[in-house]
Copies of this chain bind each other. A is one copy, B any other.
């Protein structure tokens, strides 16, 4: 695992960060329509070619711009019963949807649909791991007795987070408590 000590001029970390942050800021502030590659290059103070050298499409760039920020945010709770950890994460996710992160997530998803017909690329790069990890926490909650529902963890995840996302997408007020009670079961 030694570094091959690459020849030539190394890739500029500053430019990379500036590009990803500019893309994120444009999506958060002006929306997807204003987040053209040209606009990102201007805002980042970078040549357009530098972007095209490292990202094949706008879809790839915007996904990376989202990940650059989202990686640090929304940590998965590590302590407490399964139900507690899900409840805490749902509260954090629900708050995040109402912030820049929620706007940017929708913009990224829209770009994926426009280019590919679905947001499968976004799922593979980001959601799949989180969904698997949260399904694992749900399974632990079923094992420790804090989650009464006997449904498949992935189905519980889809009902809960799909319901939250649905309301966000269509501009409805979030209702995390109702969805939590329904999908975790017990208080029928």
| Contacts from A to B (Cβ < 8 Å) | 31-33, 103, 106-107, 109-111, 113-115, 117-120, 122-123, 127, 148-152, 154-156, 158-172, 175, 178-179, 181-183, 185, 188
| B159→A175 contact, CB < 8 A | no
Q: Given A156-B182, A188-B149, A188-B185, are A31 and B162 also a contact pair (CB < 8 Å)?
A: no
Q: Which residue of B lies closest to A162 (CB)?
A: B166
Given A183-B182, A185-B188, residue A114 in contact with residue B118 (CB < 8 A): no
Query: Would you call B188 and A120 a contact (CB within 8 A)?
Result: no
Most buried by B among A120, A158, A161, A164: A158
Contact B179 A155 (CB under 8 A): yes
Q: How far is the CB of A93 from chain B (nearest CB, A)?
A: 13
Contact between B118 and A181 (Cβ–Cβ < 8 Å)? no
Which residues of chain B come closer than 8 Å to A171, judged between CB atoms? Answer: 118-120, 123
Which residues of B lie under 8 Å from residue A118 when comparing CB positions? 106, 168-171
- Contact partner, A163, options B33, B107, B110, B155, Cβ 8 Å: B155
Question: A113's contact among B109, B175, B183, by CB below 8 Å, is which?
Answer: B109
Q: Which residues of B contact A110 (CB under 8 A)?
A: 109-111, 113-114
Write out the residue numbers on chain B whose beta carbons fall within 8 Å of the beta carbon of A159.
159-160, 162-163, 179, 182-183
Residues of B within 8 A of A107 (CB): 113-114, 117
Q: Show 18 residue pairs from A and B whose CB-CB distance is below 8 angstroms, ordered by the A residue.
A: A103-B117, A107-B117, A109-B169, A110-B110, A114-B114, A119-B169, A119-B171, A122-B170, A127-B170, A155-B178, A158-B167, A158-B175, A159-B183, A162-B165, A165-B166, A182-B185, A185-B188, A188-B188
